[in-house]
Amino acid sequence: MSFFHWGDIVTIFVWFIEVYMIFVILFYSVILFISIFQLRKKYKLDIRQAHEDYMDEFNTKPVSIIVPAYNEEVGIVQSVRSLLSVHYPIFEVIVINDGSTDNTLEKMIEHYNMKEIKNVVRNQLKTKPIKEIYQSNGLPNLFLIHKENGGKGDALNVGLNFSHYPYFCSLDGDSILEHDAFLKVMKPIIDSDEEVIASGGSVRIANGCQIQSGHIQSVGISDKPLVVMQIIEYLRAFLMGRIGLSKYNLLLIISGAFGVFSKQWVIAAGGYRVDTVGEDMELVVRLHRLLREKKQKKKIVYVPDPVCWTEVPEDIKFLRRQRRRWHRGLFESLWNHREMTFNPKYGSIGFISFPYFWIVEFFGPIVELSGYIFMILCFFLGGIYIEFSILLFLLSCLYGSVFSMAAVLLEEWSLTKYPRASDILKLFFYSITESIWYRPLTVLWRCEGVLRIVIGDTSWGEMKRKGISK
């Protein structure tokens, strides 16, 4: 009986890592070229004129803006002020105070002169009990619901039960919308004659921007390296990944920070789940599943231009908690619908989207961490192993830094949200360093998320906000 020698095991492992990384690089390269083509096609149009046509209320659809808020006293007033001034003909803002233990409720009532009202709420989705409902005296389209704590998904379901309009937007309590974001995100829904049932916009990082009274005064970049790397990470995720997947109706994520959905279809899918930390992705997956099972040719799309600005962690402790939680949410969504993987019944979602999210997004960090550990060991082993290590390092740079630099260039070429050349140069410089320090950190945190799944740790972890508006 023959056994593999140590050298054979190392060679097999190296080939596995290299084949995996080449596969991922090729996949991202295809996504990048699709994104470039889509952006070039989109920005040949007169975007401003195209969206202004939808300010006529006869050409648009009313939207309910649902804002779940738990301990958001730092920024809730400014965020709501931003929402109330959006450039859109018919909308309502519904803030759901999810049993906050701070002064979120009191600040809203005082600042917006809110009075308690009696209102019958349809019980289409089961939720925690509502305590009180308030309406602003001066702003009849602003409502506040005070309820028992049940988590973000439960708060969104309360908002769905209460909402009056056929489409709704879910927004985080610390979000700031650009003035015409709703016109842009609703355009594919209106143009498609209800073929598009969900539309997501871009999320950008507000840390470092000048924000006054809930409005972006000037776009800037934070001096904190962790924040700068998150900006690059967001550009890469939104401008590359989501544009490419959206082109072929393969999108499994619409960010909980900014997305518009058909209320009819969300309620048919059962609303938001309350037993997951990734309620946004889980809902989109369930919608795709429902559409395929009912043989409905509906679409879920991503629109790169409508922008929502949000606060991100500046402290490594809170960023680590966020990434662990995100990875757990990814696993829960994939595992709860695991029978969709390679299932012909679900078409391209089952054969492309699910394998991609399993192989690249969920198991990717484990493979990458193994590669990092192997690279370190190779320097101690010497000889040919050092060559293996250098090859893996070059592949990791291509996998990480080069695609991130491409995302920064895409931003400058298309949306140009960062007007100063110094900001683009800063982003470009930091993207070069990603593979050296930031990506290994996020890989480690996501692997910690996998470990927590294995040991059954379901703790949430506190997230503190500084506030982004004055």
Q: What is the DSSP string of 213-228?
A: TTEEEE----S-HHHH
Say if residue 57's pLDDT is above 70: no
The answer to whether 83 and 65 are in contact (CB under 8 A) is yes
The answer to whether 185 and 200 are in contact (CB under 8 A) is yes
Say if residue 250's pLDDT is above 60: yes
Instruction: Give, as one character, the DSSP assignment of residue 129.
Output: P
Say if residue 252's pLDDT is above 90: yes
* Residues 200, 232: Cα–Cα separation, whole Å: 19
Torsion over CA: 54, 57, 58, 60 (sign): positive
> pLDDT at position 178, please?
85
Of 81-95, 261-275, 305-319, 401-415, which one has max mean pLDDT?
Answer: 261-275
The answer to whether 366 and 447 are in contact (CB under 8 A) is yes
The pLDDT tens digits for 452-465 are 999 887 766 666 66
Per-chain mean pLDDT for the chain: 87
Q: Which of 157-171, 309-323, 416-430 has the lowest mean pLDDT?
A: 416-430
> In the structure, what pLDDT confidence band is assigned to residue 9 with cuts at 50, 70 and 90?
confident
Q: Which of 271-275, 322-326, 412-416, 449-453 has the lowest mean pLDDT?
A: 412-416
**How many other C-beta atoms lie within 10 A of the C-beta of residue 355?**
12
Residue count (the chain): 470
Q: Any bridge partners for residue 176, and if so which?
A: 309
Token pair listed for 129: 């009990």
Say if residue 27's pLDDT is above 60: yes
Token pair listed for 242: 């989501």
Which backbone phi and psi does 304 adopt, to 5 degrees?
Answer: -70, -25
The answer to whether 431 and 172 are in contact (CB under 8 A) is no
> In the structure, what pLDDT confidence band is assigned to residue 4 with cuts at 50, 70 and 90?
low
> pLDDT at position 45, please?
46
Grouping H, G, I as helix, E, B as strand and the rest as coil, residue 344 is helix
Which backbone phi and psi does 182 adopt, to 5 degrees?
Answer: -70, -35
> In the structure, what pLDDT confidence band is assigned to residue 1 with cuts at 50, 70 and 90?
very low
> In the structure, what pLDDT confidence band is assigned to residue 377 with cuts at 50, 70 and 90?
confident
> In the structure, what pLDDT confidence band is assigned to residue 468 with cuts at 50, 70 and 90?
low
With both helix axes pointing from N to C terminus, report the angle between 6-42 and 384-397 in degrees, rounded to the nearest 10: 20
Say if residue 29's pLDDT is above 60: yes
* Residues 129, 90: Cα–Cα separation, whole Å: 29
With both helix axes pointing from N to C terminus, report the angle between 438-455 and 364-381 in degrees, rounded to the nearest 10: 120
b/e string for 316-349 if b means 16 or more Cβ within 10 A? eebbbbbbbbbbbbbbbbbebbeebbebeebeeb
Q: How remote is the C-alpha of 458 from its chain's centroid?
A: 21
Residue percentage of the chain with pLDDT more than 70:
91
The pLDDT tens digits for 329-364 are 999 999 999 999 999 999 999 999 999 999 999 999
* Residues 41, 59: Cα–Cα separation, whole Å: 24
Say if residue 170's pLDDT is above 60: yes
> pLDDT at position 227, please?
96
* Residues 79, 171: Cα–Cα separation, whole Å: 10
List of domains in the chain: 1-470 (3.90.550.10)
**How many other C-beta atoms lie within 10 A of the C-beta of residue 161?**
18
Which residue's entry shows tokens 């939720």?
127
* Residues 342, 65: Cα–Cα separation, whole Å: 36
Q: Between 430 and 402, whose confidence is greater?
A: 430
Grouping H, G, I as helix, E, B as strand and the rest as coil, residue 19 is helix
Token pair listed for 259: 């997305």
Report the first-to-last Cα separation within the chain, whole angstroms.
73
Q: Which of 31-40, 63-72, 440-449 has the lowest mean pLDDT?
A: 31-40
* Residues 256, 101: Cα–Cα separation, whole Å: 22
Q: Going along 7-102, which residue ranges are E strands?
A: 63-69, 91-98
Q: What is the mean pLDDT of residues 168-180?
A: 83
Q: How remote is the C-alpha of 229 from its chain's centroid?
A: 16
> pLDDT at position 141, please?
96
Say if residue 56's pLDDT is above 60: no
* Residues 431, 415: Cα–Cα separation, whole Å: 18
Torsion over CA: 200, 470, 111, 150 (sign): positive
Residue percentage of the chain with pLDDT more than 90:
51
The pLDDT tens digits for 289-299 are 999 999 999 99
b/e string for 273-302 if b means 16 or more Cβ within 10 A? bbebbbbbbbbbbbbbbbbbeeeeebbbbb
Which residue's entry shows tokens 């994939």?
334
Using DSSP bridges, classify how beta strands 114-117 and 130-136 pair: parallel, antiparallel or unpaired. Answer: antiparallel
Say if residue 43's pLDDT is above 70: no
Say if residue 196's pLDDT is above 60: yes
Torsion over CA: 259, 90, 121, 166 (sign): negative
Alpha helices in 314-463 (DSSP H): 316-336, 347-348, 354-356, 364-381, 384-397, 403-413, 421-432, 438-455
